[in-house]
Amino acid sequence: MNAIPDRAAGAEAMPPGLTLDVRDLHTRFATDDGVARAVEGVSFRVGRGETLAVVGESGSGKSVTSLSVMRLIAAPAGRIAAGTILFRGRDGAVHDLAAAGERLMRGIRGNEIGMIFQEPMTSLNPVYPVGEQIAEVLRLHRGLDRHAARAGALEMLEMVGIPAAARRLDEYPHQMSGGMRQRVMIAIALACRPTLLIADEPTTALDVTIQAQILDLMRQLQAGTGTSILFITHNLGVVAEIAHRVAVMYAGRIVEEGDVRTLFKAPRHPYTRGLLASMPRLGQAHGGARLEAIPGNVPGPFGRPAGCTFAPRCAYAEPACTAGEPVLETVTATHAVRCRRWRDLP
């Protein structure tokens, strides 16, 4: 990481092979309507070279989780109220990002942890050529001089598959297509060879062909560098393409977690089943196929129902479900579910 002193978490507390170990994260916002409990006790791990997909409907807390890891929750309204976010940097040191100072975070963001967001136009600076924006990252975080940084920027553009990269270096973001801009974002995010890449809906705005190319690219890059990826999406088709493991979020909590094959073949939570049922069949994405949407909405972050928050929408709900909050139960060594009736489901 770097030599900036900070409150480092005990390295022994984090199992080896992990890049990120989030434990019991609570993130809240003070609003005029009361306290929004956006994330309520989320725990997950991402191993080295592993991709964890976080899925769930809009408002389930996916982005707030990733912004918490980056410490980009805007204070004073927003704050991490509890939890630890253990992160292992490239030098092997473990830090608790939930408690890290801003100085340490500035050395981590865009350096140890890269980010890709959904809309590249809001993240790219419109008044600088894209090559300069990549070179800037290389100068800032890898200490390259101007000449070396420009050469590095060219190399990055070529790596993310931008044709005629030498000419593209001097183009401005508005001169590029959406797919090309997203590749530039990826180039910027990867310029420092991050230990962890956080991608929040990185392909949602792109057409399916470009989307497939970008996912392919991320997979190749990961195979070459061992980068860990936290991939946020509501698209289960994308999850099947890219993830090793999946965490399903609902109303600020993880309700099911497992390896990708198990989650798709043998989901145990009624919500995961609903999400899968609402997924267009392969090849029918544009065929106007009728989606079997889950009736009802994700409860808002204020005054969620007592007990299981999914109960108002659940076909299997029984009185006990609303009495107490279900705990995350182990199904197998690689599969856990937060549903008190998972054994009874057909």
Ligand X SMILES: Nc1ncnc2c1ncn2[C@@H]1O[C@H](COP(=O)(O)OP(=O)(O)OP(=O)(O)O)[C@@H](O)[C@H]1O
Give residues in contact with ligand X (CB under 6 A).
29, 31, 36, 38, 56, 58-64, 78, 234, 300-301
Distance CA(253)–CA(242), nearest Å, equals 22
Binding residues among 17-76 for Mg ion as defined by CB under 5 A: 63
Q: Does 341 bind ligand SF4 (CB under 6 A)?
A: yes
Q: How far is the CB of 131 from ligand X (least distance, A)?
A: 31
The answer to whether 276 contacts ligand SF4 (rule: CB under 6 A) is no
Binding ligand SF4 by CB under 6 A: which of 78, 89, 173, 326?
326
CB of 250 to ligand SF4, least distance (A): 9
For 16, counting Cβ atoms within 10 Å of its Cβ (0-12 exposed, 13-18 middle, 19+ buried), the class is: exposed
- 309 makes contact with Mg ion (CB under 5 A): no
Q: State which residue, 150 or 340, has the beta carbon closest to ligand SF4.
A: 340
Give the number of other CB atoms < 10 A from CB of residue 164: 10
Judge if the upstream peptide bond of residue 312 is cis by omega within 30 degrees of 0: no
Both structure tokens of 66: 């990733």
CB 339 within 8 A of CB 331: no
Q: Which does 339 bind (CB under 5 to 8 A by kind): ligand X, Mg ion, ligand SF4, none?
A: ligand SF4
Q: 């497992």: which residue's tokens?
A: 258
- The one of ligand X, Mg ion, ligand SF4, none whose footprint includes residue 95, by CB under 5 to 8 A per kind, is none
Least distance (Å) from Mg ion to the CB of residue 63?
3
Binding flag, residue 331, ligand SF4 (CB under 6 A)? no
What's the min distance (Å) between Cβ of 290 and ligand X? 22
Question: Are residues 87 and 71 in contact, defined by beta-carbon separation less than 8 angstroms?
Answer: no
Among 317, 319, 327, 333, binds ligand SF4 (CB under 6 A): 317
Q: How many CB atoms lie within 10 A of CB 282?
A: 8
Asked whether 38 and 29 are in contact (CB, 8 A), the reply is yes
DSSP labels, 99-125: G--HHHHHHHBTTTEEEE-S-HHHHS-
Residue 296's binding partner among ligand SF4, Mg ion, ligand X, none (Cβ under 5 to 8 angstroms by kind) is: none
60 binds, among ligand SF4, ligand X, Mg ion, none (CB under 5 to 8 A by kind): ligand X
**CA-CA distance, 213 to 273, in Å (whole number)?**
28
Residues at the contact surface with ligand SF4, assessed by CB under 6 A: 270, 308, 310-311, 314, 316-317, 321, 326, 339-341
